[in-house]
Chains A and B, each alone.
Chain A
């Protein structure tokens, strides 16, 4: 038996070298262009260019806070994202667990392909589908389902009430298939021996899932949640603009920061203001994630992002 201590060569350099292509790419693609952040504080003039335009302090940020709309959009963005994180994780984990249990059966392939399909559709198309179902004059729901049930037609695009549910449903429909894949991969990484041991001890399937699988998924769930928190001030533009078909009467429940900025700047393509909005969203997400990460680091150090 060898007792000599291996001479620990510093592995810093080789590891850095291995990481270098990735590092180089991130520098070029993400860090260097960060100079664009300046635009948020400038009154951009095409003739003077990015560096020659004048500074205008926080003027470009005012529109994000000015009216009650600002409150509405912030509230909506945060609320929807919170729900998406919670329900999205639950749905993805559920699907992953179920699919994993079916193992190598052929039907798994069918299920998996089917659940992935919605993710391949662009939001414009999904907007059309929504319209096909919910359109007051000729929509499927009004003309077929409600008629059969004897209920009066509802002007869906003018009734804000049901929309939070509709949007959450559509979001889950689109992403669950793909997110579940991440969890499936993690589940597959769990040592089979643990399951076998538990089974010998008489644990039921349900017990195994609740006591083994889900806890073992904790690191993955934490990482994904942390990353989601970082993006909590961003919203999926397509979901909130296309699906409600840009209907004004629904704004109170469908307006998010991204749609507000888009609409506001549609007539006046203001470079500074869009940069300001992007910076605002980044900053808040950044602060939130720092706090969340610090929290995780206290409780569960190896699961923290950094």
Chain B
């Protein structure tokens, strides 16, 4: 027995020593570890595929910022709850983004104040984004996030079947306002009675909501405004009580009654692309940030291959939410905020890193064409390559240094940059509203809006009867309190600007 016992002890000693030694070596690596969580629309990659991309990124970050990065792609629709869960549960998550809930993130203490750290750890990003935009991700003078740098100005457009328009001899260049669309729809209906001229963009939206210009939604979603600023005035008003809203719903109702729009737009299970692909619809109205020709060309594939045209029928308008809807933040529970910010900075400045994030490994996940655009390797597409986050192009880092997918136009990039700089901006740019004091009223009002709004903007509800009822219910739910609170916060912000 003795020799075996001795052998056993020896082995034990060896194992212990080895682990100690390994521990020492592990210590000496000394890289900060940053966990970067981003939303993806594509398939979640397997751990191996992801590891390949991570390693490629780490080779760069180890050198440049002595940091190692762990990538956590999360499906878009679960992103906010997963991040919330992870932070509550004390899991390591250093960098994450807002998805339209930026002010909530601030008021519930999810992110850290970056103001003092920016100059040291992210000066390039600070210059790139600029003071004006950083104001949109600030609260009470402190910067809490960095907005995704991408084409933000959304212009309302009509996307229509070019072949039908040509056949009917329609002059689409005369269509400059949503009211002009009516005539076009009528003509199409007359020529093709079996067709429904206007398709919904998606559930509860036929696109006319965004055609009301000069509205600052004051931190609310474009499809659920609760107190807005209109026409450059600094008084918070109820959007639903405005003449513009009445006009727009009347228009929708007219279209509905004349069979110019699909009847179940408020509850449709299909999105515009599918509907257009069926060949049963002539056009739809939506807002895009790309120039007309580009938009039409890139949508053709999804819309069944029919030739499409696009016509702008409104102008872009930037309010605070347009900019901070997709903001990147460092979590308040992070143990390495400086390293996190350094990596975040790289996603805005380092071409290699951001393309690794979006497209994966060259050769394995994408190949470069002669003209500099990229495409998927032969025989593969977005759902079969080991890693791709191509659809996240507009949600992280610096859009303008990413590869362009085959088929896009490089001049468009220039146009989009221009739009960003020159689009009309709200007078309250930089103001974010903290809804915590009225959160009870918010939940009540949200439910009322969900009940009435889709029907009104899709024409299936009669504005004459429904709008008064809607306004009454809103009032009961506490919209007046919300408006009062917004005004108070707005005035306070203006006074301290």
Contacts and interface: CB of A to CB of B under 8 A. Distances in A.
Interface of A: 43-50, 59, 62-63, 66-69, 127-128, 131, 135-137, 155, 157-158, 245-249, 251, 255, 260, 263-271, 273
Contacts, number: 130
Nearest to B449: A248
10 contacts: A46-B331, A63-B443, A137-B196, A248-B204, A248-B266, A251-B451, A266-B446, A267-B101, A267-B220, A270-B104
A97 B337 CA distance: 66
A270 B100 CA distance: 14
B474 to A, nearest CB: 10
A264 B460 contact: no
A128 B268 CA distance: 10
B179 interface: no
A303 B352 CA distance: 70
B447 A158 contact: no
B180 interface: no
Contacts of A131: 267, 269
A225 B478 CA distance: 39
Contacts of B412: none
B108 interface: yes
Interface stretch (B57-65, B79-87, B154-162): B79-87
Contacts of A46: 87-88, 108-110, 331-333
Contacts of A158: 266, 455, 460-461
Given A157-B264, A158-B266, A248 B443 contact: no
Nearest to A158: B460
B469 to A, nearest CB: 12
Given A135-B269, A136-B264, 16 more contacts: A46-B87, A49-B90, A63-B440, A69-B447, A245-B203, A246-B267, A248-B451, A248-B453, A249-B455, A265-B443, A266-B446, A267-B446, A268-B442, A269-B81, A270-B439, A271-B84
Contacts of B269: 127-128, 131, 135, 245
A242 B262 CA distance: 21
Of B108, B267, B436, B442, the most chain A CB neighbours within 10 A belong to B267
A59 B442 CA distance: 13
Given A249-B451, A255-B447, A268-B439, A45 B109 contact: yes
Interface residues on B, range: 35 or more
B263 A137 contact: yes
B454 interface: yes
Interface in B46-92: 80-81, 84, 87-88, 90
Nearest to A266: B446
B425 to A, nearest CB: 24
B448 interface: yes
B239 interface: no
Interface of B: 80-81, 84, 87-88, 90, 100-101, 104, 108-110, 196, 203-204, 220-221, 224, 262-264, 266-269, 331-333, 435-436, 439-444, 446-448, 450-455, 460-461, 473, 476-478
Contacts of B444: 63, 66-67, 69, 264
A135 B200 CA distance: 14
A268 B101 contact: yes
Of A67, A246, A270, the most chain B CB neighbours within 10 A belong to A67
Nearest to B466: A249
Nearest to A127: B269
B330 to A, nearest CB: 12
Contacts of B100: 267
Contacts of B435: 268
Contact of A269 (B101, B109, B450, B452): B101
Contacts of A127: 269
Contacts of A45: 108-109
B317 to A, nearest CB: 21
B71 to A, nearest CB: 22
A47 B332 contact: yes
B108 A246 contact: no
Contacts of A50: 88
A131 B264 CA distance: 10
A245 B88 CA distance: 31
B418 to A, nearest CB: 32
Nearest to A249: B455
B108 A44 contact: yes
A68 B446 contact: no
Contacts of B87: 46
Contacts of B477: 66-67, 69
B454 to A, nearest CB: 5
B453 A137 contact: no
Contact of A47 (B81, B109, B267): B109
Nearest to B278: A138
A155 B104 contact: no
